[in-house]
Chain A
Amino acid sequence: MKLHIPIDLMNRIRAHGEAAYPEEGAGFLLGRVEGERRFLMSILPAENSREEAARGNRYLLLPREVLRAEESAQRLGLDLVGIFHSHPDHPAQASEFDREWAMPWFSYLITSVQDGKAGETRSWRLSDDRAGFVEEEIRMETEITESRSR
């Protein structure tokens, strides 16, 4: 299991988490799938629909937004491969709450944001029996070209 991320997309994901601080920021990951490898090609930052008071430690993406993300992915000829979100003042580790709500197969890319500065970013996938998360290796790429990902 590997998630290949171009540096510029990684920078945007981390900046999104910093901009949302002290609230959680989240969005969709779009890319191509090649067996157990995923190549990130685009991101769609999303609106956190959680009631305002809880946005410090929760995010919620509504089904209609998920549908929009699926449609965008289809338009671009990509797959919706996962979700990115930030953990303000917490490690980049998937939580019990994340597990209860997790979709199978998706990559959950989590960035820890400490005092407004993005720290570690790690990626997780739910195991098929929903018992826990398995860490997915992140590979940074200077650039992912069409040919590289096919």
Chain B
Amino acid sequence: MTTLKIPSPLRPFTDGKAQLEVRSGTVSGALDELVAAFPQLKTHLFTESGELRAFVNLFVNDENVRDLYGPDTQLKPGDSLMILPSIAGGTPLQTVDHAALRTNQAFIIGISIAAYVSDAPWLAGIAGLAMLVGTLLKVPAFAFVYRRWLRGWLKPDVLTDNMEPHRFAQGFGAVVQLLGLALLAGGAPVAGWALVWLVIFLAAINLFVGFCAGCMVYYWLNRLHVPGFVKAPPDGTFPGLRPKAG
């Protein structure tokens, strides 16, 4: 017989019992016995596909079975098997409508290319100023176009994501674009247009590939503990890449 110890949050499902005796010779067998005796526990210990939930940890005589043989770990008479939760939680990630972000990128690209083609630095300046104002107002500069006129046409693409890195990316774009404008005004057209094209290029890989370089920089700064950069990438997402839906 092995003593199976139940943590307090699961005791309401074991008639209040803090420990039980099980006969099985393996950890998985002991869990099967437990669930057979108290079926309500199943949904809290296992996922719908039958795997142990991420927060469920099993210790045989103070050793985590992950460091032994997992569910196949043998139990000897007199062993104690303990179920211990790790407890996690946290702030909801915000949801971000990526269709609004893509509208913004498309407008920045379009206006900046138009500025280059018609040799109109003021037009590049307007895009830069719009990005700056958008950053200060904490919205994508041209998202209003999407909200007002494009919503019926473009499918919303609402993903679990952080807004701050996108804001930072837009602010970074604004600074580069306005720096380009200053160079154009200062009589350095090659360097000035190069910076405008840098903004076009970065917005384009964001629009077409789904990679936000500014967001990646934000997440690097987060990793380096720079104050103010508090958000980490959504779980399972490479820093800067568009999060997967769902």
Contacts and interface: CB of A to CB of B under 8 A. Distances in A.
Interface of A: 22-24, 26, 50, 52-54, 56-64, 66-67, 70, 73, 79-81, 83, 85, 87-90, 93-98, 100-106, 108, 128-130
A143 B88 CA distance: 30
A56 B87 contact: no
A64 B43 CA distance: 23
A74 to B, nearest CB: 9
B244 interface: no
Given A57-B232, A63-B59, A105 B92 contact: no
A61 to B, nearest CB: 4
A102 B89 contact: yes
Contact of B89 (A64, A95, A104): A95
Report, as a range, how many residues of chain B touch the other chain. 20 to 34
B8 interface: yes
A103 B90 CA distance: 14
B90 A58 contact: yes
Interface string B227-243: 00011100000000000
B85 A103 contact: yes
Given A63-B59, A96-B92, 11 more contacts: A50-B88, A54-B232, A56-B232, A57-B232, A63-B85, A63-B86, A93-B92, A94-B89, A97-B88, A98-B89, A128-B40
A54 B223 CA distance: 9
Interface string B192-232: 00000000000000000000000000010011010000111
Interface stretch (B9-17, B115-123, B140-148, B166-174): B9-17
Contact of B86 (A58, A66, A93): A66
Contacts of A73: 8
Per CB-CB distance, the 4 closest pairs between chain A and chain B, nearest first, are A95-B92, A56-B230, A63-B84, A103-B9
Nearest to B219: A53
Contact of B232 (A58, A59, A94, A129): A58
Given A58-B232, A63-B57, A104-B13, A24 B40 contact: no
B230 A22 contact: yes
A103 B87 contact: yes
A129 B42 CA distance: 10
Given A57-B91, A95-B92, A105 B43 contact: no
